């Protein structure tokens, strides 16, 4: 599926920005990025319009466009009139079919990898079912590296190359060191993810970076929501744990130390179940995947078998819900109540324009959405839930990996002179 990237650049969400202009070469790289990002965000346009919108001389734009074409990052588009008298001019547009960004999500139940080209087209996908807590970090990183190598081999066969890999991991992460400090739902503490993958992939492999899974999911969702003029949203993961990615005024909210979004560990019931983090009554003990499975199925039910791919297990539960299975329907009622409670608190605090439910929630959206929206209207102090609409993700379990792929591609958009 292709994402419309216009109007929602990843740079505004958390990229590191273009190189600072200090000499003629760095100024040229800065201008190359300026042109490429304009074409990404605003769509195809003639060279004369690019010059007018960037404020750069027409001759400079001609040279920049020629270099971007030579690097395979843009191409000639359709013929269009630019408002001047005379012959119609050709537009230019983002190309980059030979350039791919890879996003890889490490979850409790799987490793999922996706590669997107510069236009946002899916070029490869790879999914591996596993039990991250049982397997341990070394085995998971082994499997992740194998998946990356497999996808890179596929890309090379298609004449494409990966510019970077961005890993989406749950829990508290340290971006600078590439370390998962604490991820209770997979049992990881102080795991050097980027270092471990670089060792396995070799020194000549493109950059490997790490980011929180919910934050990357929020980026992927915002690239879609912004097309509907939604610039304040909360993305809520629906996996073993519950995480949040918060977009405010078009920017990813990180917090002072980068840890904003640990919404799954809001304590909403002091007498509730013990969470994987060691505390009681965290929100994810009420609405996380394990909570849903605990209410929907007995311990020996095949849908509880972590060695079976999660999507297959959820498809079976969806079938049961469609058949009106009492246990499944009662489990959904429990999830609806818990979602209303937690989302009400978040809406009062952050006043988002939208809440996007991802992960397993997407498979049961038609059972959840109207009830949760109604509950939100009753719980939020502001009229009409403060204008907040509850939405179901169209990306499902791919959101975090997609966000990672977009962040990998942002390296090209910020400094095209190093790529192509």
Per-residue pLDDT of the chain (420 residues), as tens digits, is 344 333 333 344 445 555 454 567 788 889 999 999 999 988 999 999 999 999 999 999 999 999 999 999 999 988 765 555 556 688 999 998 899 999 999 999 999 999 999 999 999 999 999 999 999 999 999 999 999 999 999 999 999 999 999 999 999 999 999 999 999 989 999 999 999 999 999 999 999 999 999 999 999 999 999 989 999 999 999 988 899 999 999 999 998 888 899 999 999 998 899 998 899 999 999 999 999 999 999 999 999 998 888 889 999 999 999 999 999 999 999 999 999 999 999 999 999 999 999 999 999 999 999 999 999 999 999 999 999 999 999 999 999 999 999 999 999 999 998 876
Last residue of a domain, one of 59, 94, 129: 94
Region at 180 (left for phi over 0; alpha for psi -120 to 50; beta for the rest)? beta
Same domain? For 387 and 412 the reply is: no
Smallest Cα–Cα separation from 392: which of 355, 340, 418? 355
Helix axes 213-225, 399-414, angle to 10 degrees: 80
pTM for the predicted model, two decimal places: 0.88
With CA atoms as reference, report the closest residue to 381 among 360, 357, 350, 410: 350
Strand (E) or helix (H) holding 92:
strand 89-94
| 262 and 391 share one domain | yes
Structure tokens at 254: 């990180």
Range of the domain at 136: 99-216+400-418
Q: Are residues 268 and 389 in the same domain?
A: yes
The rounded distance, in Å, linking the Cα atoms of 93 and 74 is 5
- Give me the torsion for CA of 411, 415, 419, 420, rounded to 10°: 110
Q: Give the residue among 100, 95, 116 at the shortest CA–CA distance from 164.
A: 100
Domain closes at, from 61, 94, 127: 94
Token pair 């790529």 in the structure block, residue? 419
Asked, for residue 130, whether it belongs to a domain, the answer is: yes
Our CA angle for 14, 118, 353, nearest 5°, is 45
- DSSP letter string over 220-259? HHHHHHGGGT---EEEE--SSS--EEEEETTEE---TTS-
CA-based nearest residue to 161, from 117, 103, 200 = 117
Please indicate, yes or no, if residue 221 is contained in any of the structural domains.
no
- Asked if the structure places residue 6 within a domain, the reply is no
Residue 365 belongs to some domain of the structure: yes
- Asked whether residue 392 falls in the same domain as residue 260, the answer is yes
Residues 363 and 241 in one domain: yes
3-state secondary structure 373-411: HHHHHHHCCCHHHHHCEEEECCCHHHHHHHHHHHHHHHH
One domain for residues 378 and 269: yes
Whether residue 313 is found in the same domain as residue 385: yes
CB atoms within 10 A of CB 154: 16
Residues 130 and 260 in one domain: no
Question: Residue 230: what pLDDT?
Answer: 95
> Which of 50, 74, 94 delimits the end of a domain?
94
Are 143 and 188 members of one domain?
Answer: yes
Does 33 reside within a domain? yes
Domain-located, residue 222: no
Q: Could you tell me if 247 and 303 are in contact, meaning their C-beta atoms sit under 8 angstroms apart?
A: no
Using DSSP, state whether 182 is helix, strand or coil.
strand
Q: 27 vs 11, 24, 89, CA distance in Å?
A: 18, 5, 27
Domains in the chain: how many in total?
Answer: 3
Do 403 and 220 touch, CB atoms closer than 8 A? yes
Q: Quick check: is 223 in a domain? A: no
Tokens coding 337: 């109540």
DSSP 206: P
Please report which residue ranges of 43-130 form alpha helices under DSSP H.
Answer: 47-54, 58-70
Select from 216, 265, 230 the least CA-distant residue to 397.
216
End-to-end CA distance of the chain: 24
Does residue 179 belong to any structural domain of this protein? Answer: yes
Domain check: are 167 and 305 in the same one? no
116: domain CATH number is 3.30.420.40
44/176 same-domain check: no
Q: What is d(CA 53, CA 37) in angstroms, rounded to the nearest whole number?
A: 12
Let me know: does 239 contact 289? Beta carbons within 8 Å. Answer: yes
Same domain, 39 and 64: yes
């Amino acid at each position: 599926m292709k994402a419309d990237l216009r109007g929602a650049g990843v740079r505004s969400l958390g990229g590191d920005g273009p190189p600072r202009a200090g000499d003629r070469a760095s100024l040229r790289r800065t201008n190359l990025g300026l042109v490429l990002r304009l074409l990404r965000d605003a769509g195809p346009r003639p060279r004369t319009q690019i010059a007018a919108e960037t404020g750069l001389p027409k001759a400079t734009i001609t040279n920049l466009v020629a270099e971007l074409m030579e690097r395979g990052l843009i191409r000639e588009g359709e013929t269009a009139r630019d408002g001047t008298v005379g012959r119609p001019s050709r537009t230019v547009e983002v190309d980059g079919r030979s350039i791919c960004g890879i996003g890889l999500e490490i979850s409790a139940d799987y490793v999922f990898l996706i590669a997107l080209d510069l236009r946002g087209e899916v070029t490869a996908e790879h999914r591996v079912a596993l039990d991250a807590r049982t397997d341990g970090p070394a085995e998971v990183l082994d499997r992740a590296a194998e998946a990356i190598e497999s996808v890179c081999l596929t890309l090379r066969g298609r004449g494409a190359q990966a510019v970077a890999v961005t890993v989406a991991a749950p829990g508290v992460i340290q971006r600078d060191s590439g370390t998962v400090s604490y991820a209770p739902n997979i049992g990881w503490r102080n795991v050097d993810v980027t270092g471990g993958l670089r060792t396995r992939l070799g020194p000549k492999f493109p950059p490997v970076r790490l980011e929180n899974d919910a934050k990357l999911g929020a980026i992927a969702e915002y690239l879609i929501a912004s097309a509907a003029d939604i610039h304040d949203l909360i993305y809520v993961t629906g996996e073993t744990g519950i995480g949040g990615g918060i977009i405010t005024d078009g920017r990813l909210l990180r917090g002072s130390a980068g840890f904003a979004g640990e919404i799954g560990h809001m304590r909403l019931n002091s007498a509730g179940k013990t969470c994987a983090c060691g505390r009681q009554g965290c929100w994810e003990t009420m609405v996380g995947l394990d909570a849903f499975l605990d209410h929907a199925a007995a311990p020996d039910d095949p849908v509880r078998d972590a060695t079976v791919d999660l999507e297959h297990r959820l498809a079976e539960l969806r079938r049961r819900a469609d058949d009106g299975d009492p246990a499944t329907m009662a489990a959904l009622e429990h999830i609806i109540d818990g979602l209303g409670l937690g989302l009400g608190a978040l809406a009062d605090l952050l006043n988002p324009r939208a809440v996007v439910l991802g992960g397993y929630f997407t498979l049961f959206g038609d059972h959840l959405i109207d009830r949760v929206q109604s509950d939100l209207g009753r719980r939020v102090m502001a009229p009409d839930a403060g204008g907040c609409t509850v939405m179901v993700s169209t990306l499902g379990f791919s959101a975090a990996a997609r966000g990672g792929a977009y962040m990998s591609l942002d390296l090209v958009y910020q400094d095209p002179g190093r790529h192509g």
